[in-house]
Amino acid sequence: MMKKFIAITALFVVAFITGCSLSNNEPYCYSAAAAPITSVTGPDTGQVNTPLTFNVLIQAASSCGELDRFYESTTGFPKDISAIVKYEGCNCDNKVTSLSKQYTFTAAASGSYTLRFTTANSAAPIVKTITITQ
């Protein structure tokens, strides 16, 4: 008796979920890609364990572009930093758009740190060298 009840309940749940579609049959468009960084401004010095904020301009390929995250491709230094832009929506114009976002860097020890921000020319990154003191 209990097995029949579970089987009937499971069948009802599956039928209910299948009958209630959350999709409205409209296309869904999404992609994500590295986007070139065109400008970086910020401090050249700082102190240990104190966050430093850099203003970063990113070139998105369309009006639907939005910064997803900054990707740090190396664990040591110099640190290579790329901007990952997500494009969500099917009705985007292909007009290049500038996004202004902040990148935060915090050093755990004193020393000199080099950050390399990826540009359209991968052989010529924007380089920021920061001196950190106690």
Take residue 49 and report the two structure tokens written for it: 């364990």
- The helix (H) or strand (E) run that includes residue 7 is helix 2-19
Q: What is the pLDDT of residue 76?
A: 87
Verdict on whether the full-model pTM lies above 0.85? no
Question: Is the distance from CB of 101 to CB of 67 less than 8 angstroms?
Answer: yes
H-assigned helices in 20-123: none
Take residue 40 and report the two structure tokens written for it: 């970086």
Tell me the pLDDT band of 91, cut-offs 50, 70 and 90: confident
Residue 123 pLDDT > 80, yes or no?
yes
Give me the phi and psi of 35, to 5 degrees please. Answer: -125, 145
Residue 119 pLDDT > 60, yes or no?
yes
